[in-house]
Amino acid sequence: MKYVKEFTIILGITLVGEWLKYILPMPVPAGVYGLFLLLFLLCTGIVKLEQIETTGNFLLEIMSVMFVPAAVGLIESYEQIRPVLIPLICICSISTIIVMAVTGKAADWMIRRRQAGAKNGKGGQRP
């Protein structure tokens, strides 16, 4: 029953994100609205991490399976993609490298900031 409750919370937040997509006149995907809403709810304490942690971890573990239909769709669309395949591969490769570099630098900055806070006696954590 715990999993059903956790999944219902996550699904409810996702549905509110879908609703916001149609209500707000901005070109933002519904998933982004849902993620920001979940972040807001977690930061304010309205939703506790323990209330969604188990199901969220499960969904993260099976995330790669969720990409199978998209990959099959790309394979089926090969004839339409073939004329732009080389630029598409270049763009995907370059953007992946950029995202990895920026993520690594951001993580490195956060780790150094936390270590500096620990050295200053602040414990590296925000109150």
Per-residue confidence (pLDDT) for residue 7, from 0 to 100: 95
Token pair recorded at residue 91 = 């763009």
- Give the separation between CA 18 and CA 10, rounded to whole angstroms: 13
Per-residue pLDDT of the chain (127 residues; tens, 9 = 90+): 899 999 999 999 999 999 999 999 899 999 999 999 999 999 999 999 999 999 999 999 999 999 999 889 889 999 999 999 999 999 999 999 999 999 999 999 999 999 988 888 765 555 4
Global confidence as pTM? 0.64
Per-residue confidence (pLDDT) for residue 122, from 0 to 100: 64
Do 29 and 46 contact (CB within 8 A), yes or no? Answer: no
C-alpha closest to that of 12 among 57, 49, 52: 52
Per-residue confidence (pLDDT) for residue 8, from 0 to 100: 96
Residues listed for the chain = 127
Q: Please return the burial class of 35, using the count of CB atoms within 10 Å of its CB with bins 0-12, 13-18 and 19+.
A: middle
C-alpha closest to that of 28 among 11, 39, 19: 19
C-alpha closest to that of 49 among 57, 27, 69: 57
